[in-house]
Amino acid sequence: MARITIRVENEIHDRLIVRAMRSGRSLSDLVRPAVMRVADPLGDWGPDPEDTRVALLACLMALLLLDIEKRSPDILQQGALEACGLLRRWGMSEELCSLAMAEMEARHAR
């Protein structure tokens, strides 16, 4: 098997290491599918397991927020913060939680 060496910013490297550790994969196993997709964009690669996990967490968060909103709109903010905390402990990024909170606030500003 051939080897590729690339240089990336230290911050990107750190984020890749964290993502690999969270998913129980090596850095090479994490990056290899992305390289394969670049080499053969029409290949049948299927979803990245990490992307699938994040998508499931995002769906779960959306369902939790909708349930909280339906039950008691006045406690939506606190419930949303608690939902974000729970999902962050399960591995969802702070950035994704922040996007969900911004969407919720935009929805209620209308």
CA angle 84, 89, 92 (to 5 degrees): 65
**Domain residues for 89?**
49-109
Residues 86 and 100 in one domain: yes
pTM: 0.43
Residues 35 and 6 in one domain: yes
Residues 10 and 26 in one domain: yes
pLDDT, tens digit, for every residue of 28-37?
A: 988 988 888 7
Residues 14 and 33 in one domain: yes
Query: Mean pLDDT over residues 75-102, rounded?
Result: 75
Q: 73-109: buried (b, 16+ CB within 10 Å) or exposed (e) per residue?
A: eeebeebbeebbeebeeeebbeebbeebbeebeeeee
Residues 31 and 57 in one domain: no
Residues 13 and 63 in one domain: no
Residues 36 and 70 in one domain: no
pLDDT, tens digit, for every residue of 6-50?
A: 999 999 999 999 988 888 889 998 898 888 878 887 776 665 666
**Three-class SS state of 91:** coil
Burial-class residue 6 by CB neighbours within 10 Å (0-12, 13-18, 19+): exposed
